[in-house]
A = this chain, B = another copy of it.
Amino acid sequence: MTTPPTTDPATTHDLVERELAPELSEGALALDADVVRSYSADWALFCPADGAVALVRATCVEDVQATLRFASRHGVPVVPQGARSGISGGANAVPGCLLLSVERMNRILDIDVGERTVTVEPGIINQELKNALVPHGLSYPPDPGSVALSSIGGNVATNAGGLCCVKYGVTRDYVRKLVVVLADGTLATLGTATAKGVAGLDLRGLFVGSEGTLGVVVEITLRLVPLLPPPLTAVATFPDERAAAATVSQFMAGGAQPSMLESLDRTTLRLLNEFGDFGLDDQAGAMLLMQSDGAGHAPAALAEVEAFTAAAEANGALDVGFSDDAADSDALVAARRMAQPAYERHAQAHGGGQLLDDVCLPRTRMPEFYDELDRIRAASGLTIAVVAHAGDGNIHPSVFFDASDQAAVDCAEAAFDEIMQLGLGLGGTITGEHGVGYLKRHWLTKELDDGAKALHRAVKGALDPQGILNPGKMFDGL
């Protein structure tokens, strides 16, 4: 939509040395090609990442402002980066760009126990923040799979989700106030630290999930909740994915409010057992892992376990059990969290390729989804393993393939696309939590209607008239 900036890389390089370098904190600027290259990509496959001219590792707000003022002055593209743990290519370099990393801005600025808020710089890692809150009796719930790696700034940029969303919501639900640097270097405070506030438009929310296309977040005030109570954990195995999905649908329709409801398919169970000593029943066609947190209110959690058991048995469960032993529960959740490493191990041994998809649909439509996914498996001959934040209808199929075989790559990409089309067809979205980035930029145009596209263009044009902020990504097809 916006005209791509056209500054020549060599010219940009000279300008950076002459004009930008003197304005930055010591050590913030890197022009060394190897260093720049090492920051040029996130974890996505099939996304270009070449052509960055320089890397700014900002240590303060002023570094971010100086970089954006410079970029605006010369029409140089800027790619904002957090921990680069995303899997949609949103943090990847584009030709002629400056990489602007905020990973060094990682301080906790304030913990307000009375107000239950924390104010942080964007570079702090999600798990580190969680750890720092424990002594204060507070929790920050959002827990993307990348919780140990991803930064709060990146979580805000992608509106990250996770396992707890089914009860506790996503990143957006916790962001009270943001300080952002706009395309021209201007600083703006959006939202209010108070529990409620309706003074003006919700520009705070607009920046959450904007993937670096509207500005750079430099300070975040999050609301917190009291320490999450230890959960009861229930496990059920099923002959197939459809039965597990039907259980989820029935259980949730009955008024359940689990704090976690994950599903793992047959292939995932097998790959996990191959990866580590998890002792999962890999003869089962699917497994559900349900948690209900109810420390002070164990009766409610027990009732939820009973409702879950009933739903699972009604849908032909092979086995159902539960545990209130924290170590048992932790072991099961740890196994679930090892799915991605297990996938990687499998991929490495089978040609290297894994495409991780991320659709979200009404959970009542999940049984149909799994039927159709079987069709895609059969037609393509591909191994497709599935984990899902099933309570939210958020499904992550991983397509495995031999990356050295172009026909296999094409086949995998086609399956990846078919899965998104299937999600859309069932009333869902092309991405529940991983974002659009580069990987799904052309799919966004299939999801949005003409009016929504026009609105996207209007907002982007107004906030980034030169199109310097993360070009070629989310807005590329709009």
In the complex, A166 has a CB within 8 A of chain B: yes
Evaluate contact between B360 and A192: CB separation under 8 angstroms: yes
Q: What residues on B are CB-neighbors of A213 within 8 Å?
A: 201
In the complex, A303 has a CB within 8 A of chain B: yes
- The residues in A between 182 and 231 inclusive whose CB is less than 8 angstroms from any CB of B are 182, 186-190, 192-203, 205-206, 208-210, 213-214, 225-227
In the complex, A148 has a CB within 8 A of chain B: no
Segment of A28-36, A42-50, A110-118, A121-129 in the binding face: A110-118
- 17 A–B pairs (Cβ distance < 8 Å), ordered by A: A114-B362, A114-B363, A114-B364, A115-B362, A116-B252, A165-B196, A170-B196, A187-B451, A189-B448, A194-B394, A195-B363, A201-B474, A202-B205, A227-B255, A296-B297, A459-B462, A459-B463
Across the two chains, which residue of chain B brings its CB closest to A296? B300
In the complex, A435 has a CB within 8 A of chain B: yes
Chain A interfacial positions (CB closer than 8 Å to B): 112-116, 137, 158-159, 161, 165-166, 169-170, 172-173, 180, 182, 186-190, 192-203, 205-206, 208-210, 213-214, 225-227, 249, 252-253, 255-257, 294, 296-301, 303, 360-364, 389, 391-394, 427-436, 440, 444, 447-452, 454-456, 458-463, 474
Evaluate contact between A196 and B300: CB separation under 8 angstroms: no
Instruction: Please judge, given known A-B contacts A198-B433, A299-B297, whether A452 and B161 are in contact too, CB under 8 Å.
Output: no
Bound-state CA distance A450–B203 (Å) is: 14
Distance (whole angstroms) from the CB of A364 to the closest CB of chain B:
4
Instruction: Please judge, given known A-B contacts A166-B195, A194-B432, whether A296 and B296 are in contact too, CB under 8 Å.
Output: no
Q: What residues on B are CB-neighbors of A444 within 8 Å?
A: 199-200
* The one of B188, B225, B430 that contacts A451, using a Cβ cutoff of 8 Å: B188
Q: What residues on B are CB-neighbors of A208 within 8 Å?
A: 202
Across the two chains, which residue of chain B brings its CB closest to A171? B198
Bound-state CA distance A447–B430 (Å) is: 38
Evaluate contact between A394 and B196: CB separation under 8 angstroms: yes
Evaluate contact between B200 and A452: CB separation under 8 angstroms: yes
Evaluate contact between A362 and B193: CB separation under 8 angstroms: yes
Instruction: Please judge, given known A-B contacts A195-B360, A197-B431, A451-B182, whether A252 and B114 are in contact too, CB under 8 Å.
Output: yes
Across the two chains, which residue of chain B brings its CB closest to A253? B114
Instruction: Please judge, given known A-B contacts A137-B255, A449-B188, whether A435 and B198 are in contact too, CB under 8 Å.
Output: yes
* The one of B113, B195, B253, B458 that contacts A394, using a Cβ cutoff of 8 Å: B195
Instruction: Please judge, given known A-B contacts A449-B188, A451-B182, whether A360 and B172 are in contact too, CB under 8 Å.
Output: no
* The one of B116, B199, B451 that contacts A429, using a Cβ cutoff of 8 Å: B199
Q: What residues on B are CB-neighbors of A301 within 8 Å?
A: 297
Q: What residues on B are CB-neighbors of A253 within 8 Å?
A: 113-114, 116
Q: Among the interface residues A192, A226, A391, A449, which one has the most CB atoms of the partner chain B within 10 A?
A: A192
Bound-state CA distance A364–B194 (Å) is: 11
Evaluate contact between A158 and B428: CB separation under 8 angstroms: no
Bound-state CA distance A361–B117 (Å) is: 13
Distance (whole angstroms) from the CB of A146 to the closest CB of chain B:
14
Bound-state CA distance A196–B166 (Å) is: 9
Q: What residues on B are CB-neighbors of A166 within 8 Å?
A: 195
Across the two chains, which residue of chain B brings its CB closest to A203? B455
Bound-state CA distance A298–B186 (Å) is: 51
Bound-state CA distance A198–B429 (Å) is: 8
Bound-state CA distance A206–B450 (Å) is: 18
* The one of B195, B430, B459 that contacts A201, using a Cβ cutoff of 8 Å: B459
Q: What residues on B are CB-neighbors of A360 within 8 Å?
A: 192, 194-197
Distance (whole angstroms) from the CB of A65 to the closest CB of chain B:
11
Bound-state CA distance A430–B299 (Å) is: 42
Bound-state CA distance A283–B256 (Å) is: 45
Q: Among the interface residues A158, A187, A362, which one has the most CB atoms of the partner chain B within 10 A?
A: A362
Evaluate contact between B448 and A193: CB separation under 8 angstroms: no
Evaluate contact between B363 and A190: CB separation under 8 angstroms: no
Considering the complex of A and B, which 3 residue pairs feature the smallest CB-CB distances, nearest first? A297-B297, A188-B451, A226-B255
Distance (whole angstroms) from the CB of A476 to the closest CB of chain B:
12
Distance (whole angstroms) from the CB of A171 to the closest CB of chain B:
10
**Given A182-B455, A201-B214, A205-B206, 6 more pairs with CB closer than 8 A:** A161-B196, A172-B205, A188-B455, A193-B362, A198-B434, A202-B206
